Amino acid sequence: MHNTPKRSVTYIEIDEDRAGQRIDNFLLSCLKGVPKKHIYRILRRGEVRVNSKRIRPFYRLAEGDSIRIPPVHLATVKTPQLTETTGTDQLKNRIIYEDEWMLAINKPAGIPVHGGSGQQCGLIEALRLLKPEAHYLELVHRLDLETSGCVLIAKKRSVLRILHDYFRNNQVNKCYQALLAGRWQKNKVLVSAPIRKQRTENGARKVFVANDGKEAVTEIRRLQQWGQYTLVECRPRTGRTHQIRVHAQHIGHPIVCDQRYGNTKVNQRASKNGLNRQFLHASSLHFKHPRTGEIVALHCPLDNNLALFLSKLGFEE
């Protein structure tokens, strides 16, 4: 028989910051290591009580609620480990903004925003290890694994809800820099091409332009050209999966070194010249501070490897 650690009965009082959250989501965040099916089982059985009453999984917590959580067995969970790319010094140096409500970090390429899919420690797990004094740290939005740049983290649940509304209602001005394959002749264009997402037979995610897809709009503006490359600024007006990458492919100028949507020959040439990652960088975020109302302007300079590659382009044959 395997012994697993067991919690005793605990009581938690809900404060303003946790009010509004569904009880099932609250338990999933509190009971790390407990299987999801077990959490729903103790809810169905009435073992979880709010103000001494049984509740349903979709019950939304209110400030002052008293939650009774029964003893539960915890699965053995590996503690996330910091790596070379998620080390303390590496992340400390990349924090570009912080106050009592939120922080922003210049995410390196090659690190996922959260663990999973073979990656035990992502950006959010590493930040929680880096800042054990922070009782609440949650991602406001996401960037792809190979995309670098601005990522916003909420330090309070109430702030997370407001920032989610900002992103949902297009109240955040997002700007990316991308290097496109080929000489893109237009100065500025609004790409409006619906995007569809589906799973392939092997479970991989496939994203492509399709008439029956969801609305997707990206403003692309040319910044500079070198040989067979064009540096552009991209401002997505919607937030679809891989939107900028798919739209760049759609206009016939995919992002350089994009292994999924890019051009193989272009990628190979760029790789030989020292570019070992997708050239897509979240360069800035502008939005109203959720508490003070002041405009927050966050800027992330290009990573050194991207800036170095651009510096070499003027000498390319």
Catalytic residues: 144
Torsion angle of C-alpha atoms 57, 59, 63, 64, degrees rounded to 10: -70
CA distance 277 to 303: 11
Nearest of 167, 149, 148, 147 to residue 159 by alpha carbon? 167
- Kind and range of the H or E element at 285? strand 280-288
Nearest of 130, 120, 57 to residue 89 by alpha carbon? 130
CA distance 29 to 305: 37
Nearest of 221, 234, 225 to residue 177 by alpha carbon? 234
CA distance 149 to 133: 25
CA distance 71 to 50: 15
Alpha helices in 169-290 (DSSP H): 243-250, 264-272
Q: In this structure, what DSSP letter does residue 116 have?
A: B
CB 265, CB 132: distance < 8 Å: no
> Sign of torsion, CA 220 224 226 227?
positive
